[in-house]
Each structure stands twice: as structure tokens, then as C-alpha cells.
Structure 1
Amino acid sequence: MNQSTTDSATHLVHVSLVVHSLSTETDFYHSVLGLSLGRKINMGNHVIQYIESGTPAMLEFIEYLDDRAISDDEEQELRHHLAFAVNDIDQTLAKVRQSGGEILNEPCFMEQLGFQSSMIQDPEGFQIEIVQYGNLG
């Protein structure tokens, strides 16, 4: 499923859940709910499994390969989050700054995933990943 966008509308790309067992979760969503498995990507210290939801937005399961527990510890690299694709990540982050929002990390290119990414935090403390596909250059 192609996640790129050509119009100016921001749209939901994925909902990410950190799980204890990638195999248990993917089996449930595939076997019980009938959802299709997407790409599986080894990111070094964690593995990502995409699950196609029947819409352009996907589920993204993350399993850490070390012994870390799932927690709400702000020091953990990735936690549960929403991800939105935008056409201009710098413009979006400028709006976050202007609105008093918090930028958790500046944009960086995620080579394994093929997009530029930045994590922000909404007023309630929920993490949101802002991603930009396409011409990054």
C-alpha cells in the first residue's frame, strides 16, 4: 500500500502500538480479524510489522528486541503514537512551535522506512509522529 500523498491534506498514516509479542499480535489481527500483513522491518533494536487496516492508514506494531518493558517512560525511544503524513514537515513544525506545542526531536530521514520523521507531543502529552514522503531534498 503506497502511503505517499499528492494533495495538501494532512492524513492519518498509522497508529503505532508497542507490543510484547509481535507474532501473537500479528496472528490475532491476521487470523481473527482477517487483516493483511504488510511490510516487516528490522530497525536494529526493534522490529516493526505493518498491518493493513482496509483503509490507507495502517496499524504499526513495534516489538523491542532487548529486555525493555513496555512503559510510558519518556526515555523509551518509541511508545504508542499516531502518525500523520504532511506535505511540508518544516512548515508543520513551525506551526507546532507557534502554538506552544512540544517538538520531541527534529526531523531526520528514516532510511529503512523511506520518509522524514519528527515526533511531537500534543497538549495532553500524546505523541504524534509527523512524516513527509516524496522529495526531501
Structure 2
Amino acid sequence: MRLLHTMLRVGNLDRAITFYTEVLGMRLLRQREYPDGRFTLAFVGYGDESDTAVIELTHNWDTGKYELGNGYGHIAIETDDIYATCEAVRAKGGRVTREPGPMKHGTTVIAFVEDPDGYKIEFIQQRTQ
């Protein structure tokens, strides 16, 4: 077994795709509309779905906004230069909500950003071997 994807419900699909592709550098892997169900699915990621876990963005046509539940945590993305990554996100209009630095009670360097719907994305500095 393996992890396939994480699903996020988004209020504005175009805005979400733009954030994940242009701000975070993922690729739009596939997108399909389901007119009978009045929803669209878009899958974004850093690699092919056959090789890596991806994010499923679900847009229900009749819902423009969602309240974030208290059970959702975050998506984590490893980066080789967390400081440059945060600066690139900021330069592209993204919101850094926790600047890079060691995690509380540990040494792993982390940072957080939010997508346009308020979902948290954690950046984790790649450890040197």
C-alpha cells in the first residue's frame, strides 16, 4: 500500500491551482469536471501520481467557501533551502505565517505558509547527510 493523495475542498479552483503551481511550483497533473455531480477535481504535485503522493483539489460548484475544520493539520513539503523557498513564496504573493526556524522542542528547521483557502503548508528544511 502507499499514500495516493490528500484531498482539499477549495472555494475557487483557479485561484487554488495558481497557488499550488505558480507559488509552490507543483504541476497540474490532471483535471476533470463532473457536471452531474456539479464538481471538478484537479490533481497537483511535484511528480507523477504513479511515483509520488499528490494533492487533490475538489471544487464543488455550488460552494464558494469552506470553514477550516479543527481536525486538519497541514501538508508538509521538504525543501533544500527553506529561507529561499519562503522568500520565493512571499515574492509571488503567498503568505508566510511562520518564518523559518527550529521547531519548538527540537532542531528541525520548519516554516509555514497558507494557501488561498487558509490551508497550512509546512516547509521542512532537508537534512544534510
| TM-score normalised according to structure 1 size | 0.39
Q: TM-score, normalised by structure 2?
A: 0.41
